[in-house]
């Protein structure tokens, strides 16, 4: 989805202070894992920080966490199991330009919550990729007005954990105030986010403990671990739902985007993407610049779950058209019949009313080709589908559980957000 006209220009109040209330002092900073409800198979997004390590290793700080990493909201529990005792409701100044994000993951029958920041008056919103990944519907509420908008994905980059949304029919929104100074170790900061997906922004204070830090999220369920570099590291109390929220300096200006948190220790370490880095990625998306790592708009979608790799324990899902689930989900016996002996991507389940279902694919089939491209596993299947756009017609070749080869022409659908 390309953005033209006024939406292509970021309207940012660079350098102007938001006027933080003195009452914000003493908060504990928050960033934690996704708030997800009723997650079922056919998933693959991170993560539950309760499985994380100590400083330098942890889970994403909010948004989607279905499947193997899912959990119900824990009503105020931080990722280290403690309550967020020192945080309080964000002030109007702290809330300016910050939005609450709620997503529906239709193929997982799940819901999730996170946070975002307004980049333009006509409704461009910055958030983490993992906040909106796998979503089929997104609604965004402006914290200071309470008005809710339907949102679409302009684009996302999972390697940078950045996504940009466009709010429908938005106008004259207040934008986030971006810092024009450099952040330093020892600086006081306040994190603002949709803690626990509760629908009310919370503000929590902390201090910068390191710059240029790296954090590796913990592999869970079907999701591989992922490393993010050059992060702002802060010491703070952390709860779920704050990903994509604003890390403010003592002038009320945004210095970072809350993204990840450690767990498993008494002192929680939070990590934020420096705002200048996040904006660089966002601007390439807004300008419609295709890169090796981003997805513009929505990906093409076949509509299947891919059997997990039994050797690696990890799936082949890349978010581009195929979904990964635990072995056996959607197929009582997992791999079965002749197809288990065929090199390819084994279908663990098929979503209703999708191109795969219309083509006649069923659990246990093994996809061997997309067009003329050979498919050897779930990764190569995702990569092959990623070469296409929604609406493209491609041939799919597969071996059924009876050993017979089938080929069908399918028109790829618009998939969940990548």
**Cα angle for residues 56, 162, 88 (degrees, 5° grid):** 65
Q: The tokens of 58 are what?
A: 């942890």
E strand or H helix at 93, and its extent?
helix 92-95
Is 48 in the active site?
Answer: no
Instruction: Please give the Cα distance from 44 to 266 (Å, whole number).
Output: 29
**What does each C-alpha distance from 242 to 107, 144, 245, 294 come to in angstroms?**
24, 17, 6, 23
With contact defined as beta carbons under 8 Å apart, do 243 and 115 qualify? yes
Cα distance between residue 301 and residue 149, in whole Å: 25
Residue 346: strand, helix, or coil: strand
In 3D space, the residue among 63, 102, 60 whose CA is nearest the CA of residue 79 turns out to be 60
Cβ atoms of residues 361 and 304 within 8 Å: yes
Q: What token pair was written down for 190? A: 């306040």
Adjacent-strand bridge partners of 257 = 273
Measured distance CA(85)–CA(88) in Å, rounded: 8
Q: Which two tokens stand for residue 189?
A: 């900061």
Q: What 3-state class would DSSP assign to 340?
A: helix
Q: Which two tokens stand for residue 359?
A: 């083509």
Tell me the HSE value of 296 on the side-chain side, using a 13 A CA sphere: 16
Active-site residue flag, 388 = no
Residue 161 among the catalytic residues: yes
Q: How far apart are CA 243 and CA 131, in angstroms?
A: 7
CA distances from 321 to 68, 137, 301 (A): 19, 17, 4
Active-site residue (options: 130, 158, 237, 324): 130
Helix locations, 251-309, DSSP H: 275-286
Cβ atoms of 121 and 142 closer than 8 Å: no
Q: Which of 102, 122, 161, 242 is catalytic?
A: 161
Catalytic: which of 243, 262, 263, 318?
A: 243
- Which residues are known to be catalytic? 130, 161, 243
């Amino acid at each position: 989805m390309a953005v033209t006209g006024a939406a292509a220009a970021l309207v940012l109040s660079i350098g102007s202070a938001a006027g933080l209330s003195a009452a914000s002092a003493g908060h504990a900073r928050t960033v934690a894992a996704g708030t997800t409800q009723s997650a079922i198979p056919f998933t693959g997004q991170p993560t539950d920080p309760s499985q994380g390590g100590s400083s330098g290793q942890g889970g994403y700080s909010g948004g989607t966490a279905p499947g193997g990493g899912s959990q119900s909201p824990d009503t105020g529990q931080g990722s280290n199991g403690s309550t967020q005792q020192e945080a309080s409701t964000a002030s109007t100044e702290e809330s300016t330009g910050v939005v609450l994000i709620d997503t529906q993951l239709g193929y997982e029958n799940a819901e999730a919550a996170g946070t975002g920041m307004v980049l333009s008056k006509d409704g461009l919103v910055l958030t983490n990729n993992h906040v909106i990944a796998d979503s089929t519907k997104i609604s965004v509420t402006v914290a200071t007005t309470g008005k809710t908008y339907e949102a679409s994905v302009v684009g996302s980059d999972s390697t940078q954990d950045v996504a940009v949304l466009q709010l429908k029919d938005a106008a004259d929104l207040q934008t986030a105030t971006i810092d024009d100074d450099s952040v330093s170790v020892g600086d006081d900061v306040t994190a603002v986010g949709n803690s626990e997906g509760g629908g009310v922004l919370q503000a929590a204070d902390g201090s910068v403990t390191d710059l240029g830090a790296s954090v590796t999220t913990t592999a869970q369920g079907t999701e591989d671990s992922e490393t993010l570099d050059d992060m702002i590291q802060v010491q703070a109390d952390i709860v779920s739902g704050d990903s994509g929220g604003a890390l403010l300096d003592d002038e009320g200006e945004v210095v970072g985007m809350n993204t990840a948190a450690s767990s498993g220790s008494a002192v929680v370490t939070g990590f934020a993407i420096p705002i200048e880095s996040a904006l660089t990625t966002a601007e390439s998306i807004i300008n419609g610049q295709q890169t090796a790592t981003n997805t513009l708009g929505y990906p093409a979608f076949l509509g299947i779950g891919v059997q997990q790799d039994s050797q690696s324990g990890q799936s082949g899902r890349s978010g581009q058209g195929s979904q990964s689930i635990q072995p056996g989900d959607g197929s009582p016996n997992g791999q079965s019949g002749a197809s288990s002996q065929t090199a390819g991507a084994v279908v663990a389940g098929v979503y209703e009313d999708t191109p795969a279902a219309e083509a006649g694919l069923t659990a246990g089939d093994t996809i061997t080709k997309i067009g003329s491209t050979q498919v050897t596993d779930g990764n190569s299947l995702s990569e092959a589908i990623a070469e296409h756009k929604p609406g493209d017609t491609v041939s799919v070749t597969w071996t059924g559980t009876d050993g017979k080869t089938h080929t069908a022409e399918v028109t790829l659908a618009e998939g969940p957000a990548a």
